[in-house]
Amino acid sequence: MKNDAGLQGVDSGLAGLRWWAWRSGFVSWMQTSWPGRARSHRIGLIFFLVLFSALVPTVFPGMAGGSASAQSQPQPQSEPQPTPHAVHLTQAEVWASTSTAWLQPPSLNELDAGDSPLLDAATHWQSVALPHTRQRDLGKGRVASGDQTSVLWYRMKLPAAALAPQGTRLYLPRWQTTGTLSVYVDGILAWQSRGDQAWSNFNYPLWIDLSGMLRAGNDAWVHMRMASKAGVGGALSTMWVGPAAELLPRWRWRTFLQTTLVGYWRGSYLMLGLFALGMAAWLRFGKHPGMQGQRTEAKAFAWFFCIALGQSLAALTFLVGDEGLDMDFVWFTWITLAAMLSSPVCTVNFLGLVQHRPRPRLSRWMLVYTVAAIVLALPTWWAGHGSVLPLLRLLLVPPALVQLYVVIANARSLRSGASLFLAAWGILAWPLSMHDVALQLHWLNIEGLYLLPYLNLGLLTLFLYMMFQRYIHALESASRARVVLTEQLAAQESELRETHERLRAAEREQTLLQERQRLMREMHDGVGSSLMTALRLVERGQTQVDVVQLLKECIDDLKISIDSLDSTDADLLALLGALRFRLGPRLSGAGIVLQWQMNELPPLPWLDAQSALHVLRIVQEVLTNIIKHSGATAITVSTGEALSPRGDGAPGVQVCVRDNGHPFSEPPSASVQPGRRGLANVRSRAQALDAHCAWLPDSGGGTVFAFWLPLTRSIENAPAVEN
């Protein structure tokens, strides 16, 4: 046995080496075949293959060639045993018992008097083919009492070739009856239904573990006891017996298609219904300016919620498990029937709103019929007659016919893709419904699938299509609104641009008019007045006046007026430099030395042409007075930053004109003689600039003219300046 275990270990090691060699070969092929691919892509694909190879034996043990327990814990044997294979059982033997008990004890040796002939060799068993069905007998069901039972035993022989002491499973796709089912293996109870007699997990595949119940190398017998209510009949499908790894994929796929997928589908349906209910509340009670028809859409969403709720409740019929129900089966039957009855009327109202084809009178009649049918189906009168349940299903036919008429009529009038799809869905619903009815009445092979749970795929698809259309419509509306807003914005920009151009044109005209008026005033009051004075002096022959000097002053005034029009970019130093250029020759001619001491100054944003002319006139007037009256031989002009002399601490710049002539003190404003308006004009111009000027005696002799200018102007309307 140790040698066998060693050989198995060597085989496992060789298998692992072969697997690793295959992986390495695959990696080499990828590196040679895809040289241009990114290394991360190759590593990701290798990781995926490794993960897939590790998960396949766990998730799908049938694909790995055996169960995980059989591979991880090999059982050493003295001699090789044949590998069991699954067997499909299509034949059985049946025997009708006279027992009236619903359930039996755990062993066949403890049966009651009605079932005790089961083990008697003289008991006659009848051979039948699987699937085996017993048709309903409605007449017998009406006269039978609610407690009367009909018991049928099935017997099948399990060949030893399909059996193993461990890991053997019995797989039954479906059994169906109103009653109970018990499964015995070699006389021992292996499984027994525990749920409600009416909804006893008929849609769940049976999966029974036979481990520990079989003897190696021997055949086994399976007995199944089906106890049914009288008249309801029953059905048993074919069976599979064999290793779990071989049968597990079949059982998983059957379980997925019959129950798991239905549960997922209905859960998604119900979630969409809750979403529709939230949308209905949002549209109904919220205030959404600009949204048209929101009340209609709220009703459509509310009707879809009712459809989803009804279909989700109706689907519970196919999802009742082995644990049974928490309520009486007759009331559960009534709830599911009421849910199925309410679906057509909700569907008709929903389609009427969505497809804009309302039928209020038909909807009212359907609502009346639905309420009457739900009341008629109350289990107060048929609770003891379960065999009439299929007849109650006939109540679904009239509303289903109306629903079919509505979808076909809407398709004929609309001829859209969605309406035609719904019409095809409505027509297809009838053969699917007939298929499920025939399956429930045991007219078809019971190993087939119930299709009604998937019937409302059409409505769900329509709802998703409606939401998609709403989303597309919102995108289109947003796109159109964006286009309209863009056009309106472009129109507004064009209008604003035109308005701005008109304002700039008007401003330019206003500026030109003001400059023209200013120049006319300056020419009239300054140069014009000086020229007229010179002309009058020449006409009168008053030669004692220096006419040439007067004309030069006129020319300087004209040049200064022209210089004030040049853009100085708020630079006071440039403005003073232009004045030095104009008055420098005149000062030199008068024998006065001009010293220029300039420091960097901050810009003056308010220094426009009018203000520049005021500054030039003030400095010009001061220099002219020095030339005429002070007898000075030197003048120093300096600049610098300084605070306001008013004591308010305002920042500014200061221009100082210092001469070495006769001292000069500023006379009071009231003592200025008529015709001598030079100092008054200096004060007026300084006031217009919100500036400050003063004449101060110099400590070394002479006079200092201090002219302070603010960095920012506080006076916008300058007073008139008299020349």
The predicted-structure confidence for 512-535, as pLDDT tens digits, reads as follows: 777 676 666 666 556 665 676 666
11 phi and psi, to 5 degrees? -60, -40
- pLDDT, residue 235, reads 92
320 and 458 belong to one structural domain: yes
Angle between helices 294-314 and 261-285 (to 10 degrees): 150
341 and 459 belong to one structural domain: yes
CA distance readout (Å), 292 to 466, 468, 469, 580? 16, 18, 16, 77
pLDDT band for position 92 (50/70/90)? very high
Tokens 């909700």 appear where?
Answer: 346
Listed range (17-21, 62-66, 187-191, 663-667) with the worst mean pLDDT: 62-66
29 and 116 belong to one structural domain: no
Question: Higher pLDDT residue, 569 or 211?
Answer: 211
Give 714: exposed, middle or buried? Use CB within 10 Å, 0-12, 13-18, 19+: exposed
Calculate the average pLDDT of the chain.
77
Tokens of 45: 């694909």
Over range 307-336, report the average pLDDT.
78
229 and 277 belong to one structural domain: no
Looking at residue 149, the DSSP 8-state letter turns out to be E
In a domain, 111, yes or no: yes
- pLDDT, residue 236, reads 93
In a domain, 438, yes or no: yes
C-alpha to C-alpha distance for 713 and 641, rounded to whole angstroms = 16
* CA-CA-CA-CA dihedral for 405, 408, 413, 419, to nearest 10: 130
**Whether residue 173 has pLDDT greater than 90:** yes
In a domain, 66, yes or no: no
Count other C-beta atoms under 10 Å from residue 124's C-beta.
8
CB contact at 8 A, 97 and 115: yes
- pLDDT, residue 297, reads 81
C-alpha to C-alpha distance for 64 and 245, rounded to whole angstroms = 8
305 and 228 belong to one structural domain: no
250 and 264 belong to one structural domain: no
Over range 576-596, report the average pLDDT.
82
pLDDT band for position 32 (50/70/90)? very low
Give 293: exposed, middle or buried? Use CB within 10 Å, 0-12, 13-18, 19+: exposed
267 and 249 belong to one structural domain: no
- pLDDT, residue 55, reads 38
**Whether residue 142 has pLDDT greater than 50:** no
**Whether residue 643 has pLDDT greater than 50:** yes
C-alpha to C-alpha distance for 444 and 463, rounded to whole angstroms = 33
C-alpha to C-alpha distance for 491 and 504, rounded to whole angstroms = 19
- pLDDT, residue 658, reads 92
In a domain, 719, yes or no: no
Pairing of strands 634-643, 593-597: parallel
Report the side by side order of strands in the sheet with 703-710: 593-597, 634-643, 651-659, 703-710, 692-697
108 and 210 belong to one structural domain: yes
161 phi and psi, to 5 degrees? -65, -20
**Whether residue 665 has pLDDT greater than 50:** yes
Question: Higher pLDDT residue, 144 or 558?
Answer: 558
- pLDDT, residue 496, reads 92
pLDDT tens track for 329-341: 778 888 888 998 9
Give Dmax (Cα) for the chain.
173
C-alpha to C-alpha distance for 342 and 372, rounded to whole angstroms = 11
pTM for the full predicted model: 0.55
Over range 218-241, report the average pLDDT.
89
- The closest of 164, 192, 183, 251 to 221, measured between CA atoms, is 183
C-alpha to C-alpha distance for 666 and 703, rounded to whole angstroms = 10
231 and 277 belong to one structural domain: no
DSSP 538-596: HHHT-TTS-HHHHHHHHHHHHHHHHHTTS--TT-HHHHHHHHHHHHHHHHHHTT-EEEE
Residues 6 or more apart in contact with residue 239 via CB below 8 angstroms: 88, 89, 130, 156, 170, 171, 172, 222
DSSP 86-133: -EEE-EEEEEEE----S---SBGGG--TTTGGGG-TT---EEEESSEE
Most confident of 6-20, 401-415, 433-447: 401-415
C-alpha to C-alpha distance for 397 and 452, rounded to whole angstroms = 14
Looking at the structure of the chain, the number of domains it has is: 4
168 phi and psi, to 5 degrees? -90, 140
- pLDDT, residue 526, reads 60
**Whether residue 237 has pLDDT greater than 90:** yes
CATH code for the domain in which residue 694 is found: 3.30.565.10
Question: Higher pLDDT residue, 564 or 380?
Answer: 380
In a domain, 540, yes or no: no
Expressed in angstroms, the distance from the first to the final Cα of the chain is: 133
Question: Higher pLDDT residue, 328 or 640?
Answer: 640
* CA-CA-CA-CA dihedral for 233, 237, 238, 244, to nearest 10: -130
- pLDDT, residue 201, reads 67
Most confident of 527-536, 574-583, 696-705: 696-705
In a domain, 431, yes or no: yes
Which range marks the domain in which residue 31 is found?
A: 2-59
The residues facing 151 across adjacent strands are 97, 227
In a domain, 665, yes or no: yes
C-alpha to C-alpha distance for 659 and 638, rounded to whole angstroms = 12
C-alpha to C-alpha distance for 347 and 678, rounded to whole angstroms = 100
The residues facing 597 across adjacent strands are 638
- The closest of 270, 258, 299, 298 to 282, measured between CA atoms, is 298
Over range 59-72, report the average pLDDT.
37
C-alpha to C-alpha distance for 295 and 301, rounded to whole angstroms = 10
Report the side by side order of strands in the sheet with 91-97: 126-129, 91-97, 149-158, 220-229, 179-185, 188-192
CATH code for the domain in which residue 206 is found: 2.60.40.2380
**Whether residue 65 has pLDDT greater than 70:** no
- pLDDT, residue 544, reads 55
In a domain, 319, yes or no: yes
C-alpha to C-alpha distance for 67 and 248, rounded to whole angstroms = 10
Tokens of 431: 């053969």
243 and 299 belong to one structural domain: no
- pLDDT, residue 532, reads 66
**Whether residue 53 has pLDDT greater than 60:** no
- pLDDT, residue 383, reads 65
**Whether residue 222 has pLDDT greater than 60:** yes
217 and 165 belong to one structural domain: yes
The one-letter amino acid at 90: T
155 and 245 belong to one structural domain: yes
Tokens of 149: 């039972």
Over range 84-108, report the average pLDDT.
89
C-alpha to C-alpha distance for 79 and 714, rounded to whole angstroms = 116
pLDDT tens track for 351-372: 888 888 889 999 999 999 999 9
Over range 141-152, report the average pLDDT.
63
